[in-house]
Structure 1
Amino acid sequence: MSFEEFIGQYGLIVLLVVLLVFMFWSSRRRMQKQKAEQEQRARQTVPGAEVLLQGGLYGTIVEYDADNLDQPALVEIAPGVEIKVHSQAILRVVGPNPADDEIAEAADDATDADADDKPNNV
């Protein structure tokens, strides 16, 4: 059996198998990317973070339970005005993250402590 005969008889099947493998690989890669984005969003979504909601409203998270996404989040959209929204209504974190500020403060404190421990050569 020559190559031309093989392609003539089985070419379509080979093409379909290659296409199915590509579709499976592409789908799996996209799902992994979406999962990583969701995990990053969950880490950033903490009380005090400024967020953009699906409806175009900006607000500050007051209460959010990352473990129970069926529990509504409490978002302050104006001073003294808090609304309950579904956790999936939070589109993205847009403002400074208080957790990042705490990490930066801890790093600054550690740097200051190291500077205090060093002797002065005056």
Structure 2
Amino acid sequence: MLYAAAGGGGGGSLMPLLMIALLFGVMYFMMIRPQQRRRREAAQMQSALAPGDEVVTIGGLYGTVTGVDDETVLLEVAPGVQTRYARPAIARVVSQAERVESTEPAAAEEAETVKE
């Protein structure tokens, strides 16, 4: 009789394992995936930095990008005052400088206008 009671409870031991698996699944979708996405977006933003962009550092310092290196960014924080920061220290871009896509078509149009 004792064995019969123990044998009937064997199917219920699967439920706690399912609950633990469900908990890990929820943690993955609620915490880990959004953090990976934010990290990926930050890396894209930092790799797209270019001179003329206005940025904010993680310390709250506003500046304009004047130079970009592989690992560092040169910021002008006041007229004539430049400081060097690591790329990961840039928290966000406030405004991007207008990028000139290609100057060759514009130069060709100017040359045609001058010939006429």
Q: TM-score range by the shorter chain?
A: 0.5 to 0.7
Following TM superposition, by how much is the alpha carbon of 1:26 offset from its aligned partner in structure 2, in angstroms?
Answer: 4.2
Q: CA RMSD in A?
A: 3.1
Following TM superposition, by how much is the alpha carbon of 1:5 offset from its aligned partner in structure 2, in angstroms?
Answer: 4.9
In structure 2, the residue matched to 1:38 is 42
Distance between the aligned counterparts of 1:34 and 1:77, measured in 2?
Answer: 27
Whether the 8 Å contact between 1:44 and 1:93 is mirrored in structure 2 is no
Alignment pair present for 1:12 and 2:16: yes
State the identity %: 30
Structure richer in strand, relative to its length: 2
Q: Which runs of 4+ in 1 moved over 4 A?
A: 4-7, 25-28
Max Rg structure: 2
Following TM superposition, by how much is the alpha carbon of 1:41 offset from its aligned partner in structure 2, in angstroms?
Answer: 0.9
Alignment pair present for 1:93 and 2:106: no
Whether the 8 Å contact between 1:48 and 1:62 is mirrored in structure 2 is yes
Whether the 8 Å contact between 1:59 and 1:76 is mirrored in structure 2 is yes
Point out where structure 2 has 5 or more consecutive residues left out of the alignment: 1-7, 110-116
Corresponding letter in the other structure for 1:20: F
* Structure 1 SS opposite 2:60: coil
In structure 2, the residue matched to 1:75 is 75
Following TM superposition, by how much is the alpha carbon of 1:19 offset from its aligned partner in structure 2, in angstroms?
Answer: 1.8
Whether the 8 Å contact between 1:63 and 1:73 is mirrored in structure 2 is yes
Point out where structure 1 has 5 or more consecutive residues left out of the alignment: 114-122
Distance between the aligned counterparts of 1:20 and 1:96, measured in 2?
Answer: 40
Following TM superposition, by how much is the alpha carbon of 1:79 offset from its aligned partner in structure 2, in angstroms?
Answer: 1.3
Following TM superposition, by how much is the alpha carbon of 1:83 offset from its aligned partner in structure 2, in angstroms?
Answer: 0.9
In structure 1, the residue matched to 2:62 is 58
- After TM superposition, the structure 1 = structure 2 runs for residues 99-118 of structure 1, keeping only pairs within 5 Å, are 99=99, 102-103=100-101
Whether the 8 Å contact between 2:63 and 2:76 is mirrored in structure 1 is yes
